[in-house]
Amino acid sequence: MSTVRTRFAPSPTGYLHVGGARTALFNWLYARHTGGTFILRIEDTDQARSTEQSVQAIFDALKWLDIDWDEGPFYQSDRLNLYNDYIDRLVAQGHAYYCTCTPDEIEAMRERARATGAKPRYDGTCREKGLPLSEGAVVRFKSPVMGTTVIEDVVKGHIVFANDELDDFVLRRSDGMPTYNFAAVVDDVSMEITTIIRGDDHIMNTPKQILLYQALGRPLPVFAHVPMVLGNDRTRMSKRHGATSVTAYRDMGLLPEAFINFLARLGWSYGDQEFFTRQELIEKFSLDRVGKSAGIFDAVKLNALNADHIQAARPADLVRHLKPFLESESWDTQDEAYIKGVIATLQTRSKTLKEMAMQARFYFETDVAYDEQAAKKFLKPNVLEPLKHLKEQLAALTTFDEKAIEQVFVQLMETFQIKLGKIAQPVRVALTGTSVSPGIFEIITVLGQARVVARLEKALGYIARH
């Protein structure tokens, strides 16, 4: 068996959308699962719509998803000489020809066909003329007029196309640029692609591409046309179903691990398992588990899966993902050990990284603002002495860990004959500004001795003034 070689070949005419990311993931997973090679190719022959900004958007999305490539990126715009060499070969062998029919003449052909109920297409006017290369001429493929072209698709099965339904499609336009179907085949042939995994919206392109493989005398790759991604109303994904740009989900605070888990489950399954780590996806991915039905994009399920991945992750692994959200608030992110401690207290309480960053506000603000109702309820004169005692005892600790902090609270409760709730809530408001937070011993440990003592001192001043 030859080594598997897959490719992802986006057109840089916009952001990388969900369906494209799913295609990239399936190709990447299959290459990693089989020990093969994953190639990135940028199909930028549409010069009017292709932009550097879109190329960068594709790179940014793949980088966020941690989908790395082994070869490339290759740009079709750098390969025009190669396409022209293949054109010359096909013309010389009688598989292609020059056509000088004008757009108006071609439209007239189509109108005549429509008038008779036939399929509107090019009628082969120049097919047997043997015209030489001339300015403005296109190159057309000489499609067979009889027989059938068959796709043996790994996902869709046996698909048959009648050749008389295919017209002599264009290989090179009048401006000298190759068409999608031709350039894609030349690239796949020259890059020795063995497996083509793409959306099933490409099925109608496949018979033309198979004919090109046959004309070039090259073996066919394995084709796997995966189902489309639809919104929860089973229509094609659009902005009304939620963001379609991959990087928009990054900006919402989703983890890449959660997003690729979610993408993988759009059309692929492994029993009833829903939660997958990246390594599990690599180990278990196979094309025979790709279904024929469309994948339904469910934002509720995505957010729930994201919460599961946040909770399952090691705090140290979440630091680099959380930092951009902290930095967007202009908070200091130099101390990664501190951020790791913050994350450990918030993992079970956060569905997204953005939500986690907002909940972490009190950890990073230098001057905590009190919620008016919380301060009025808990920062009252009757806790002045216990808080003062607590501040002094915590300031005196030489080992500032959870066990030592808990012991200070035990002694405080005995000294003042109060229950934990009577002192914990005032302390929580003093340290966080609100009456809701992670465990009091946890946040004291993470905040550290200096911050805690300073915030308790501020609370004592507040109580004294009120």
Q: Which residues of 113-135 are buried (b: 16+ CB within 10 A; e: fewer)?
A: beeeeeeeebbbebbeeeeeeee
* Alpha helix (H) residue ranges in 285-359: 299-312, 315-327, 336-346, 353-359
Q: By the 8 A CB rule, do 312 and 337 touch?
A: no
Contacts for 462 with CB less than 8 Å, ≥ 6 apart:
370, 375, 379
Q: By the 8 A CB rule, do 68 and 32 touch?
A: no
Query: Contacts for 448-451 with beta carbons within 8 Å, 24 or more apart?
Result: 448/338, 448/400, 449/394, 449/395, 449/397, 449/400
Active site residue 239: yes
Q: Which of 63, 239, 376, 377 is catalytic?
A: 239
Q: By the 8 A CB rule, do 276 and 263 touch?
A: no
Contacts for 283 with CB less than 8 Å, ≥ 6 apart:
33
Angle at CA of residue 96, ends 93 and 101, nearest 5° = 145
Cite the beta strand spans of 82-166 per DSSP E. 96-99, 138-141, 148-153, 157-162
End-to-end CA distance of the chain: give it in Å, rounded.
Answer: 81
Q: Which residues pair with 198 in a beta bridge?
A: 225
Name the residues annotated as catalytic: 239
